[in-house]
Amino acid sequence: MYYCGAMRKTFTQKLFRWYSLYKRNLPWIGSNDPYKVWLSEVILQQTRVEQGLSYYQKFVKKYPDIQQLANAPHDEVMKMWEGLGYYSRARNMHSTAKQVVEELNSSFPDTYEGLIQLKGIGQYTAHAILSYAYKKPFAVVDGNVLRVMARYFGIREPIDTPKGKTLIQQHADSLLDKKEPDVFNQAMMDFGALICKPRQPDCENCPLQKSCAGYQQELTDILPVKSKKIKRQTRYLHFFVFRAGEKILVEQRIANDIWKNLYQFPVIETSKNVSSKSLMESEDYQAFRIKNPLPVITSPIFKQQLTHQQLICRFYIFDLKSIDKIKRSGVKQVTFTQLKQLAFPGVIRDFLKINDYF
């Protein structure tokens, strides 16, 4: 795909003029440190800047370089990430830090081929590191840029298909200012976040309005197009909070499922909502072999909405004389103080926040 020099120049001039006036003041902008660029990109994947900013600052303060992140205990990194969601990002981030330190002498590759060999780094993140840290001419296409390109060029191909993504990447590559790729990429992202917003784009103040196909054809409300509809599964999780004195039982999720490596209370999952009586009569519950068969407290329902799943959760609190005989694979005893150092999924954090029992 090719655009004449005049078109590229006009587009870039208008974009850069707008960016010089309205760019967001973000701490990673202008950094040529590939570690900080990479860290910011990992945190901002599927996360709003407003939420990710505090996490970025926290991580940079705790782990100012990749060696310190690589050497950090895994549970500590997961606790630092707690609340950001999509925890595979944190696991991949920690693995990549170790790989860069141990195999690459603590230096990120400066080639696309080298970067995509690292865990959790795909085309988007590789392009970001190459353009921001190394000033190489790679166009970065995130959700904001997908939206800007789809509207500006009137692209009706769904952006969640390989064909649609390839088409938009080609448009972005062709428009890229090769002398200042880092400035161009950040300007495009800020423009999408502040002007060409998902809902109610600020077309009246858009410097690209006259040449925008989406605006001229009154398509801004329907572009970009997506083909896939999210199908959500409902899961019912029953958490058993077994406490004795100042000790409590927890377990770590290790399966390839939601919340991998996070902690939880021992759980029984059912395919539908069941009564407390039916739950207590189940084989899974009987396997706990507790002498006091009924909970002291049964919580109200807690819900958590994930991308493809809705979680319906309830907590059953038991005050026992001893929890030593509750044997279940992976379960361990911790103190209430230790409990606060562990990373939990959001629904359990919500439960702990409003419960003075601990």
| 102 given a catalytic annotation | no
Phi and psi angles of residue 124, each rounded to the nearest 5 degrees, phi first? -60, -55
Catalytic residue, chosen from 41, 157, 269, 281, is 41
> CA 74 to CA 93: how far, in whole Å?
11
Q: Round to whole Å and give the CA distance between 145 and 297.
A: 50
Residue ranges of alpha helices (H) inside 201-323 are: 213-216, 276-280, 283-286
Q: In this structure, what are the phi and psi dihedrals at residue 150, rounded to the nearest 5 degrees?
A: -60, -40
CA dihedral 13, 184, 53, 31 (to 10 degrees): -120
Distances (CA, A) of 287 to 140, 274, 279, 315: 52, 18, 12, 18
What is d(CA 215, CA 213) in angstroms, rounded to the nearest whole number? 5
CA 31, 7, 17 angle in degrees (round to 5)? 45
Separation of alpha carbons 232 and 238, rounded Å = 19
Closest CA to 132 of 110, 151, 147: 110
Helix, strand or coil, per DSSP, at residue 269: strand
Helix, strand or coil, per DSSP, at residue 31: coil
Q: Which residues are catalytic?
A: 41
